[in-house]
């Protein structure tokens, strides 16, 4: 009875991407070689196949210095003097070119990061363009932002921003940093993650196509040392960092006592709370989306499922059935739901924490999944019988691993959800409006998703409480990070 | 060889995305700034105005239902196309207003930049004039602006493009649809603007353009019970007429932007009330409790 | 790819009979079903619609879709001539290609059943008749039952009934239930299996997904063989999200009772691309067991020609045109 409808491979073509063998740094409007020798150049690979995509320069302290100097010159001579309406037009141009080259950017992102083309095409790239459009429109309206000086004049920018972004949403994180910074009149030096530099370098090309004045955007590729050199540079006014909490704390220490302002977007261990009157099928979608979207490489991932005990069995059965329909494989296949883990290091960490979960007594389950021979892969995984005392309930795995805990009452759910040093995001599933609002009000999280999850919009501020960081990106409040507000502050 | 005879344009109304002639069959002579004949423009009648209101109402649900991001994209594209048609607009401005090429280019620059400025407000106005309210009780309370509906706009008589954009854009960016009566003596840039709207992504009925006399048409729009608001700047300086229109508008309590004593300086930076005059603030309460 | 989930009956039909014992217990049951979040359901349907089905999988899907078509004519102007032509097309959709499979059924008004039956004989293509004062359902019960019996006696293999939407929307669930039960009884055929009963909800009039979930359970409890979205006479007719909710309902019903019920979206499905989206949704929501004309049908007329054109393109490599296919 019935047939087995197998989907043939539906690969997106790679030919639209023109990969160079090697890439330099983007400083003062041009691609230049770094000071480092050839041996310091690093390779960026495709995590789905382990194939080398390109060689990328590693910026040393001298390169970082050149980039900051270029940014400072551009700030003083050009960008801070330009009327907001003209800055806006550059950002609109960039947004348009991103839309025009959308497919190319999506394919490149999937190749370098390992995420499915369906996500880079339908989520990452469109939101990137939208981010530039949104902030373009603020550039000439800053006097209305709510951050104006007491004389009502448009607030001033901070100056030069040093920006460091992670590998999980490479181009989107770049957009979250560069768009508001430029809209407010700052210039930037940005370091992409060492495993995912390619879309940032293509973005540099787009800046050239938009005729962006040289030095306004500078891209310095490299790893931890490059980032440290940037944070430590005496002539930056602002540090914007997205990454691990550990590094965030190191940055906070390093800028102590200086005039540098910082915003930090760090880790999370979000609780996704499902009440007994939740719209169950959509809750299952939300759970799946919350932890398996982007292979779980999401700081705001719903990595802890807190399900009301009375519906736990039913929900888990539905969840497992749904997980069995997830397709893991070639990121460039349009039917792939779960792509590759970004690096060998990350895969090792996910495996280690999963083993710890098992050894602590939680029960592990994954649907049967054929993992390709080459590349870095981890099947979507569920741990049941987890309690707050387990390490997998407390530590960020940053992979497709969901820990399932139960609760009896709303206050117990809130207590467990808040019982963590993190506070980035949370999910609430219930059909009862008053409960959504009460629980949302009680959760110590910067973003609360009710009856949905992992929704991002340029107009919507994003950021954490507690050790998930401080500052907001997106929305009107996102401007504060890049403006001189009279009270000072972060 | 004989000089080539050009194919002259017919200037029609723009209603519901199409270019009909006036149902009255009337037209009027439009001369350039030096008094030379340019065209016979359609002379809009009250029935054209009635049809335009129907078209605007029909388009309102869908236009106001779009995401703010989408409306911003649509308006930005109109600006792109205006930029692309620079020579045509410059010529229209020179003809209508007697400007030098340099001044006409500057006026077009200003009109395009004004449109881009307003486009950027689509997804931001709510963040500036809307907010949550900290009421003294366990209630979530949110105030947000919503478009009022169909707005009648009497476009300025003198500034035929910058002024026109400055009254149309703020109304539609928030989701309203408009019926515009263009400058009587200087309708040609408005007609060119309508052509740009028709060939960009603006849905039919969002902007409807009536060429003709505000004195004749405006009373019908001001009294129309399915028009929600009216901008009287096009009768600036005509105190008696403006007052009559405001009296008529009171029959369904239209939101009225009054006519100033003289046509404003359109080069000045606009204020938020150009948009907020045509939105309604809605406040929603919801209890917070388990 | 869906792992076979054996149905685990948490309730069987005899215990569910308590649910239908009274208006209040039925109301409590239906209102106690999990709600459906509109935005979430529509997002899931849209996401399933991005699946890309190519080459061999596409050919397989197209042939399957053809076998699932209930080729339909339900017009005031139907004549025996029209119905004969439709029946011939259902048996041999592509006169130029004998490998093309036949459609599942023809769907006609009750007074056309005999004509259809003459042409179709024992070809295996079924005759489905709409009944119960289709499409409005607004008539006295005895008239609706006579309509049904008439069609069954004329030879209909399947009956597509409409529910009383007025009764449903005013909360008279037990009345709707009892009407379905009565029509099911009227589908009895002596010496043969009951004519299969499809219950049409007219989801465009019910408007909310919560209502669709509730009416699906109500119809299945009443003994429907198939649940069907629409008459095709009201917009919106079938949509992907509405069908998603119905597929979830049949999946859950089987898990609860062990019994399978079929699903038929009808109206507004015009292209092969649309049809394939539905098949993907069946595959990933209810499971491969439903990918069979016994458990999934398309109520359509123009869809068939588009399926034939796409099928021809796959075999010949060229885009085809309407001249190469019959109009009816």
Q: How high is the pLDDT of residue B35?
A: 94
Whether there are 3 or more C-beta pairs closer than 8 Å between C and B is no
Q: Does A180 touch chain B (CB under 8 A)?
A: no
**pLDDT of C149 strictly over 50:** yes
Q: Are A265 and A241 in contact (CB under 8 A)?
A: yes
Low-confidence residues of chain B, pLDDT below 50? none
Q: Tell me whether residues A434 and B289 touch, CB distance under 8 A.
A: yes
Question: HSE-up of A241 (CA within 13 Å, CB side)?
Answer: 27
Sign of the CA dihedral B103, B105, B107, B109?
A: negative
Candidate list C117, C198, C264, C277, residue with the active-site label: C264
Looking at residue A26, the DSSP 8-state letter turns out to be: E
Q: How high is the pLDDT of residue B1?
A: 65
Q: Which residues of A are catalytic?
A: 265, 299
Closest Cα in chain A, distance from residue C151 (Å): 29
The structure tokens listed for A369 are 């999944």
Question: Closest to A459 (Cβ–Cβ): which among B123, B138, B290?
Answer: B123
Whether C264 is catalytic is yes
Q: Are C231 and C200 in contact (CB under 8 A)?
A: yes
**pLDDT of C7 strictly over 80:** no
> Dihedral of the CA atoms C2, C8, C14, C20 (nearest 10)?
-60
Question: Closest to A85 (Cβ–Cβ): which among B113, B124, B128?
Answer: B113
Q: Tell me whether residues B287 and A459 touch, CB distance under 8 A.
A: no
Q: What is the pLDDT of residues C187-245, one digit of tens each?
A: 999 888 999 999 999 999 999 999 999 999 999 999 999 999 999 999 999 999 999 99
**pLDDT of A488 strictly over 60:** no
* Neighbouring chains to A with at least 3 Cβ pairs closer than 8 Å: B, C
Q: How confident is the model at residue C54 (pLDDT cuts 50, 70, 90)?
A: confident
The structure tokens listed for C29 are 């049951």
Q: Does C144 touch chain A (CB under 8 A)?
A: no
Candidate list C160, C252, C274, C306, residue with the active-site label: C160
Q: Does B286 touch chain A (CB under 8 A)?
A: yes
Rounded to an integer, what distance in angstroms lies between the CA atom of residue A46 and that of residue A54?
10
Q: How high is the pLDDT of residue B155?
A: 98
Q: How high is the pLDDT of residue A10?
A: 87
Looking at residue A418, the DSSP 8-state letter turns out to be: H
Q: What's the complex ipTM? A: 0.92
Q: Does B121 touch chain A (CB under 8 A)?
A: yes
Q: What is the pLDDT of residues A307-328, one digit of tens each?
A: 999 999 999 999 999 999 999 9
Q: Tell me whether residues B128 and A144 touch, CB distance under 8 A.
A: yes
Question: Closest to B76 (Cβ–Cβ): which among A92, A140, A144?
Answer: A92
Q: How confident is the model at residue A38 (pLDDT cuts 50, 70, 90)?
A: low
In chain C, which residues have their Cβ closer than 8 Å to the Cβ of A324? 1-3, 5
Residue that the structure tokens 């749904």 belong to: A322
Q: Does C246 touch chain A (CB under 8 A)?
A: no
In chain A, the residue whose alpha carbon lies closest to the alpha carbon of B290 is A435
Q: Are B47 and B23 in contact (CB under 8 A)?
A: yes
How many Cβ contacts (< 8 angstroms) between chains A and C?
96
Residue A109: cis peptide before it, omega within 30 degrees of 0: no
Please indicate whether residue C277 or residue C16 has the higher confidence score (pLDDT).
Answer: C277
Q: Does C40 touch chain A (CB under 8 A)?
A: yes
CA distances from A465 to A254, A298, A424, A447, C300 (A): 21, 16, 6, 9, 54
Q: Tell me whether residues A277 and C35 touch, CB distance under 8 A.
A: yes
Closest Cα in chain B, distance from residue A217 (Å): 23
Q: Does C58 touch chain A (CB under 8 A)?
A: yes
Q: How confident is the model at residue C318 (pLDDT cuts 50, 70, 90)?
A: confident
Closest CA to A284 of B87, C223, C285, B138: C285
In chain A, the residue whose alpha carbon lies closest to the alpha carbon of B270 is A141
Q: How high is the pLDDT of residue C148?
A: 97
Q: Tell me whether residues A476 and B127 touch, CB distance under 8 A.
A: yes
**pLDDT of A490 strictly over 70:** no
Q: Are A476 and B124 in contact (CB under 8 A)?
A: yes
Question: Closest to A475 (Cβ–Cβ): which among B127, B140, B272?
Answer: B127
The structure tokens listed for A34 are 């770094």
In the stretch 391-430 of chain A, residues with CB closer than 8 A to chain B read 410-411
**pLDDT of C2 strictly over 70:** no
Q: Tell me whether residues B123 and A146 touch, CB distance under 8 A.
A: no
Q: Note the maximum CA span of chain B.
A: 89
CATH class of B27-287: alpha beta
Rounded to an integer, what distance in angstroms lies between the CA atom of residue C312 and that of residue C24?
55
Q: What is the pLDDT of residues A423-442, one digit of tens each?
A: 999 999 999 999 999 999 99
Q: Are C144 and C131 in contact (CB under 8 A)?
A: yes
Q: What is the pLDDT of residues A120-174, one digit of tens each?
A: 999 999 999 999 999 999 999 999 999 998 888 899 999 999 999 999 999 999 9
Q: What is the pLDDT of residues A330-358, one digit of tens each?
A: 999 999 999 999 999 999 999 999 999 99
Q: How high is the pLDDT of residue C96?
A: 85
Q: Which CATH superfamily is domain A271-457 in?
A: Aldehyde Dehydrogenase; Chain A, domain 2 (3.40.309.10)
Q: How confident is the model at residue A37 (pLDDT cuts 50, 70, 90)?
A: low
Provide CATH 3.40.605.10 ranges for chain A. 22-266+468-482
In chain A, which residues have their Cβ closer than 8 Å to the Cβ of C208? none
Whether there are 3 or more C-beta pairs closer than 8 Å between B and A is yes
Q: Does A248 touch chain B (CB under 8 A)?
A: no
CATH of domain A22-266+468-482: 3.40.605.10
Beta carbons within 10 angstroms of residue B102's beta carbon? 9
Mean pLDDT of all residues in A366-372: 94
Rounded to an integer, what distance in angstroms lies between the CA atom of residue C179 and that of residue C162?
10
| Residues 6 or more apart whose Cβ sits within 8 Å of residue B73 | A133, B201
Q: What pTM was estimated for this model as a whole? A: 0.93
Mutate to test the interface with C, among A13, A281, A315, A433 (most CBs of C within 10 A): A281
Q: Tell me whether residues A434 and B121 touch, CB distance under 8 A.
A: no
Mean pLDDT of all residues in A407-422: 96
Closest Cα in chain B, distance from residue A274 (Å): 14
Provide CATH 3.40.309.10 ranges for chain A. 271-457
Mean pLDDT of all residues in C54-69: 93
Mutate to test the interface with A, among B120, B122, B137, B139 (most CBs of A within 10 A): B120
Q: How high is the pLDDT of residue A8?
A: 80
In the predicted model, what is the mean pLDDT of chain A? 95
Q: How confident is the model at residue C115 (pLDDT cuts 50, 70, 90)?
A: very high
Q: Tell me whether residues C52 and A279 touch, CB distance under 8 A.
A: no
**pLDDT of A486 strictly over 80:** no
The structure tokens listed for B159 are 């500034």
Q: Tell me whether residues A85 and B116 touch, CB distance under 8 A.
A: yes
* Neighbouring chains to B with at least 3 Cβ pairs closer than 8 Å: A
CA distances from A344 to A50, A267, A333, A413, C293 (A): 10, 20, 22, 35, 47
Q: How high is the pLDDT of residue C134?
A: 95
Q: Does B135 touch chain A (CB under 8 A)?
A: no
Mutate to test the interface with A, among C35, C64, C295 (most CBs of A within 10 A): C35
In the stretch 68-127 of chain A, residues with CB closer than 8 A to chain B read 85, 88-89, 92
In the stretch 137-176 of chain B, residues with CB closer than 8 A to chain A read 138, 140
Q: Does A437 touch chain B (CB under 8 A)?
A: yes
Mean pLDDT of all residues in C28-40: 96
Q: How high is the pLDDT of residue C111?
A: 95
């Amino acid at each position: 009875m019935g047939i087995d409808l197998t989907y043939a491979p539906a690969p997106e073509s790679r030919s639209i991407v023109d990969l160079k063998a090697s890439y330099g740094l983007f400083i003062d409007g041009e691609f230049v070689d770094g000071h480092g020798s050839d041996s310091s150049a690093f390779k960026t690979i495709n995590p789905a196949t382990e194939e080398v995509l390109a060689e990328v320069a590693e910026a040393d302290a001298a390169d970082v210095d050149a980039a900051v100097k270029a940014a400072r010159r551009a700030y003083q001579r050009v960008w801070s003097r330009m009327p907001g309406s003209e800055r806006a037009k550059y950002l609109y141009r960039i947004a348009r070119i991103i839309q025009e080259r959308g497919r190319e950017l999506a394919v490149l992102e999937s190749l370098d990061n390992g995420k499915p083309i369906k996500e880079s095409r339908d989520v990452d790239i469109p939101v990137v363009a939208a981010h530039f459009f949104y902030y373009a429109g603020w550039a000439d309206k800053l006097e209305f932002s709510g951050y104006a000086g007491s004389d009502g004049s448009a607030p001033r920018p901070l100056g030069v921003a040093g920006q460091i972004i992670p590998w999980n949403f490479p181009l989107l994180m770049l957009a979250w940093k560069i768009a508001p910074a430029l809209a407010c009149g700052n210039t930037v030096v940005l370091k992409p993650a060492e495993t995912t530099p390619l879309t940032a370098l293509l973005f540099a090309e787009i800046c050239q196509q938009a005729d962006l004045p040289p030095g306004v955007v500078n891209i310095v590729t490299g790893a931890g040392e490059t980032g440290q050199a940037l944070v430590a540079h005496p002539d930056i006014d602002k540090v914007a960092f997205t990454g691990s909490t550990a590094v965030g704390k190191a940055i906070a220490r390093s800028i102590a006592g200086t005039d540098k302002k910082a915003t930090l977007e760090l880790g999370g261990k979000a609780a996704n709370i499902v009440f007994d009157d939740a719209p169950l099928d959509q809750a299952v979608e939300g759970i799946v989306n919350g932890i398996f979207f982007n292979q779980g490489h999401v700081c705001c991932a719903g990595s802890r499922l807190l399900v009301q005990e009375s519906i736990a069995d039913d929900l888990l059965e539905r969840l497992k059935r749904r997980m069995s329909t997830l397709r893991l494989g070639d990121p460039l296949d349009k039917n792939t739901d779960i792509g590759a883990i970004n690096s060998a290091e990350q895969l090792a960490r996910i495996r280690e924490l999963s083993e710890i979960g098992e050894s602590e007594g939680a029960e592990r389950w994954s649907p049967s999944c054929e993992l390709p021979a080459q590349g870095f892969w981890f099947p979507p995984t569920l741990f049941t019988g987890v309690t707050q005392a387990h390490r997998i309930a407390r530590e960020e795995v940053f992979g497709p691993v969901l820990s399932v805990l139960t609760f009896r009452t709303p206050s117990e759910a809130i207590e467990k959800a808040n019982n963590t040093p993190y506070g980035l995001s949370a999910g609430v599933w219930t059909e009862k409006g008053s409960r959504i609002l009460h629980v949302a009000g009680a959760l110590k999280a910067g973003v609360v998703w009710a009856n949905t999850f992992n929704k991002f919009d340029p107009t919507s501020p994003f950021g954490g409480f507690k050790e998930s960081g401080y500052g907001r990106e997106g929305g009107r409040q996102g401007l504060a990070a890049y403006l001189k507000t009279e009270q000072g502050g972060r | 060889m004989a000089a080539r005879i050009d194919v002259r344009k017919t200037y029609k109304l723009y209603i519901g995305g199409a270019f009909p002639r006036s149902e009255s069959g009337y037209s009027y002579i439009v001369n350039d700034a030096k008094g030379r004949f340019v065209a016979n423009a359609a002379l809009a009648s009250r029935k054209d105005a009635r049809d335009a209101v129907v078209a605007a109402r029909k388009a309102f649900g869908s236009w106001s239902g779009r995401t703010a991001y989408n409306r911003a994209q649509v308006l930005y594209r109109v600006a792109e196309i205006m930029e692309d048609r620079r020579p045509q607009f410059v010529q229209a401005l020179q003809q209508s207003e007697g400007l030098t090429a340099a001044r006409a280019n500057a006026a077009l620059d200003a009109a395009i930049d004004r449109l881009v400025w307003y486009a950027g407000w689509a997804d931001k106005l709510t963040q500036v004039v809307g907010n949550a309210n900290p009421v003294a009780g366990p209630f979530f309370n949110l105030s947000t602006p919503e478009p009022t509906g169909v707005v009648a706009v009497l476009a300025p008589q003198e500034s035929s493009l910058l002024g026109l954009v400055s009254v149309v854009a703020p109304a539609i960016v928030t989701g309203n649809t408009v019926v515009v009566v263009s400058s009587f003596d200087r309708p040609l840039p408005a007609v060119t603007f309508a052509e740009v709207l028709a060939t960009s992504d603006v849905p039919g009925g969002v902007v409807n353009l009536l060429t003709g006399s505000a004195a004749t048409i405006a009373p019908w729009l001001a009294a129309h019970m399915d028009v929600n608001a009216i901008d009287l700047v096009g009768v600036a300086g005509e105190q008696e007429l403006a007052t009559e229109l405001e009296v008529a508008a009171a029959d369904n309590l239209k939101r009225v932007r009054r006519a100033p004593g003289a046509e404003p300086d359109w080069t000045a930076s606009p204020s938020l009330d150009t948009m907020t005059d045509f939105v309604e603030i809605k406040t929603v309460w919801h209890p917070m409790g388990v | 790819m869906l792992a076979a989930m054996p149905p685990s009956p948490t309730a069987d039909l005899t215990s569910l009979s308590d649910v239908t014992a009274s208006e209040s217990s039925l109301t409590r049951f239906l209102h106690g079903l999990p709600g459906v979040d509109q935005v979430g359901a529509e997002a899931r349907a849209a996401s399933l619609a991005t699946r890309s089905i190519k080459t061999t999988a596409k050919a397989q899907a197209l042939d399957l879709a053809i076998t699932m078509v209930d080729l339909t004519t339900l017009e005031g102007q139907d004549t025996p001539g029209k119905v004969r032509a439709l029946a011939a097309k259902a048996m041999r959709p592509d006169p130029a290609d004998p490998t093309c499979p036949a459609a599942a059924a023809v769907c006609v008004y009750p007074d056309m059943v005999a004509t259809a039956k003459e042409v179709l004989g024992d070809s295996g293509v079924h005759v489905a008749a709409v009944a119960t004062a289709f499409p409005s359902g607004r008539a006295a019960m005895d008239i609706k039952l006579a309509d049904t019996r008439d069609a069954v006696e004329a030879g209909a293999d399947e009956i597509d009934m409409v529910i009383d939407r007025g009764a449903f929307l005013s909360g008279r669930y037990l009345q709707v239930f009892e009407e379905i039960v009565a029509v099911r009884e009227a589908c009895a055929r002596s010496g043969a299996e009951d004519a299969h009963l499809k219950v049409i909800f007219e989801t465009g009039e019910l408007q909310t997904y919560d209502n669709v979930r509730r009416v699906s359970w109500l119809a299945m409890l009443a003994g429907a063989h198939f649940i069907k979205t629409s008459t095709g006479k009201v917009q919106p007719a079938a949509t992907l999200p509405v069908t998603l909710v119905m597929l979830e309902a049949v999946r859950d019903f089987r898990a609860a009772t062990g019994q399978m019920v079929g699903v038929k979206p009808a109206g507004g499905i015009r292209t092969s691309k649309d049809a394939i989206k539905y098949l993907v949704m069946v595959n990933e929501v209810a499971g491969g067991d439903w990918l069979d004309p016994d458990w999934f049908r398309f109520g359509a007329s123009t869809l068939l020609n588009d399926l034939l054109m796409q099928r021809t393109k796959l075999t010949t490599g060229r885009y085809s045109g309407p001249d190469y296919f019959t109009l009816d």
